[in-house]
Structures are given as structure tokens and as C-alpha cells.
Amino acid sequence: MNAVQTEVNLDPLIHEANRLKIMSVLVECEAADFGFVLSATALTRGNLSSHMAKLVQAGYVNEKKDFVERKPHTEYRLMPEGRDAYAKYRKQWHSITGG
């Protein structure tokens, strides 16, 4: 089995496949809208909304809702706390796998 069990301080909020995908997209962007994150992660709308809500609640992501030509437009920005948490997660991951 391709799995290892280890005791570390991995952030449980990021350590979930879909949320890790979302964070990986946002870390490369200054800001991205819902459509962009949806296309880059290939998640379903409902899945993306629920995972994004958790990241927003944790203060990792900033959500800005407005209307563009009377259509709702949601923009997401990774907060400095989120960027730090992602960097820390990747660092810890490399220390576990040694890669």
C-alpha cells in the first residue's frame, strides 16, 4: 500500500486532497474568481463551494462577492496566513518524505 503513518503537525485543514488542490491554485494567484479555481482544480461547483467555505472560515482565504453586469462574481485571495500555512505544510511534507 502506498501510504505511511506518521506523527507530525500537518495542518488538517490543508491536508485534504481537494483543499490542497484549491490552496495550490490560489498560491500561484494574486486573486482568482470561482470559475478559474473551478477549472484549475476540476472539482464540482458544490464541492468547491463547501471546501472554500472552510478555508474562508479559517481565515486562509479572503472572499469578495460582487456583481459584474448583474451576474454574481466571487473573487478569492490567499491571505498571508494561508500562504504561510501552505509553505509550512509543504516543508513538513518534504521532511516526512525526504523528497
Which residues here bind other proteins, judged by CB under 8 A?
2-10, 12, 15, 17, 20-21, 23-25, 27-33, 35-36, 38-41, 44-45, 68-69, 73, 75, 90, 93, 96-97, 99
User: Of 15, 35, 1, nearest to 90 (Cα)?
Assistant: 15
Specify the residue, 44 or 57, whose C-beta has the smaller distance to other proteins: 44
Q: For 96, what's the count of Cα atoms within 13 Å in the CB-facing half-sphere? A: 14
Contacts of residue 8, defined as CB under 8 A and 6 or more positions apart, other chains included, come to 92, 95, 96
The nearest distance, CB 40 to other proteins, in angstroms, is 5
Contacts of residue 37, defined as CB under 8 A and 6 or more positions apart, other chains included, come to 22, 25, 26, 48, 52, 76
The nearest distance, CB 33 to other proteins, in angstroms, is 4
The nearest distance, CB 42 to other proteins, in angstroms, is 8
